[in-house]
Copies of this chain bind each other. A is one copy, B any other.
């Protein structure tokens, strides 16, 4: 608790500073504790965020607290001997190249590298030629290049059963910006936000940071539990129906229909994130939720991050007509946020038919990787490792029969130069996350090397799996 005296001659920020400082010195705020976010603090005490920040900055410059990117302010060790001048500037520069494990199962990597693919190189060349010849380069549409939008719509119609009209399609500079676009159209004062739990952490974060009331929509083995939405009005619901992230479950048709019905009757909007739907390895891709929607309630999210490369920074959003009108009213003076070169390259690539070929070829390649991994675990581990999310996509969830804590599991892998990733980040409520689940992605690993990766992994798994389970196997 901080006491603030508005009648005092001491400025408010100094009052905050002095009291926090006192609490740190007294040990009431021990090393590592997190201070309230400036936004929350300001709200609780009816102050401006700047006032709180001034206090925090003073504490930081004296070395009492430090700011950690994306996380907040944390109490430091008592700064008796700390050098608080600027000499350490150099050290805190972020490194360009972070060290990465040799055997990295990181999510979001894609191999083969798009910049090495003949068809894509050709598209880049051709975009370049077009730009060379155009005297006037400036021809900007806030929704993105029309020819690219057209190509995407044709692709969606063919592949995803999505009846897409380029007038309602917007090109964005990535998934986060697609989400921010929605927050700009559907106000936090009118809508709450329901997010799959577990679910894509960044999507939750965007809405949370924008100030929405965020509620969990729990996931069972049939995907999101739609009945939870009963009696909820005016809400945005975020789902990954074709391959729930991260569990990999598929939303069955019954729930899909219920979800659409709910949206129609309760002024709901559904964000369908169709992030890796084209990568199914046994059956045909699952039809999109959008293709079932009769009432213009589905906002369809697509991206090139899983099929080409995430560092192109291109996603797209298909808006229902009502939201497109709001966009026209409010945002259509904005410039496109994607460079002409990248848009033209993609447009050329899609129109050439090479994109479709790429999808088919990575689907075949990833299927081989996927099957290799599944077989590997089946042959070596039986029920001591449970696999979630098989059948599609670029990642798997492994549940390991071990009593080790999450941190320890990750550490053991890292000691063997292996990158595997904890799953608790996908839960808003971390207590619900299981310690023994890890996420591995395989899209970035060369097929020829995958076996080596798995053997390396086996070394660690054999150490950490509970003896009782290993016994069973033998």
Contacts and interface: CB of A to CB of B under 8 A. Distances in A.
A331 B93 contact: no
A328 B67 contact: yes
Given A70-B332, A96-B147, A333-B202, A339 B321 contact: no
A322 to B, nearest CB: 6
Contacts of A252: none
B137 A110 contact: yes
How many monomers of this chain does the complex have? 2
Interface stretch (A284-292, A307-315, A398-406): A307-315
Interface stretch (A48-56, A223-231, A380-388): A48-56
Interface in A335-387: 335-342
Nearest to A96: B146
Interface string A59-102: 01000000111111100000000000000010011111110100
A98 B205 contact: no
Contacts of A60: 325
Contacts of A132: 113, 115-116
A140 interface: yes
A304 to B, nearest CB: 10
B340 A311 contact: yes
A57 B339 contact: no
Nearest to A296: B57
Interface in A299-323: 309-314, 321-322
A218 interface: no
Nearest to A98: B139
A95 B333 CA distance: 17
Interface string A261-274: 00000010000000
A417 B146 CA distance: 26
B187 A49 contact: yes
B138 A113 contact: no
12 contacts: A38-B326, A39-B329, A108-B138, A109-B138, A110-B137, A115-B132, A136-B444, A139-B311, A174-B335, A209-B333, A312-B340, A313-B338
Nearest to A310: B138
A453 interface: no
Given A325-B57, A333-B70, A113 B135 contact: yes
A339 B337 contact: no
A209 B70 contact: no
A104 B139 CA distance: 13
B108 A330 contact: no
A93 B146 contact: yes
Nearest to A330: B209
A471 interface: no
Nearest to A309: B137
Interface stretch (A2-10, A165-173, A241-249, A427-435): A165-173
A26 interface: no
B337 A313 contact: yes
A330 to B, nearest CB: 6
A114, A138, A314: most-surrounded residue (chain B CB, <10 A): A138
Contacts of A215: none
Q: List the 7 shortest-distance A-B pairs measured between CB atoms, nearest first.
A: A173-B337, A311-B340, A70-B332, A115-B131, A69-B332, A313-B339, A96-B146
A124 interface: yes
A32 interface: no
A106 interface: yes
Contact of A141 (B94, B113, B140, B309): B94
Nearest to A93: B167
A44 interface: no
Given A106-B138, A138-B310, A311-B340, A57 B332 contact: no
Given A116-B132, A136-B444, A339-B339, 13 more contacts: A37-B329, A49-B190, A53-B325, A70-B333, A92-B167, A96-B139, A97-B139, A108-B138, A110-B137, A113-B137, A137-B310, A176-B335, A312-B341
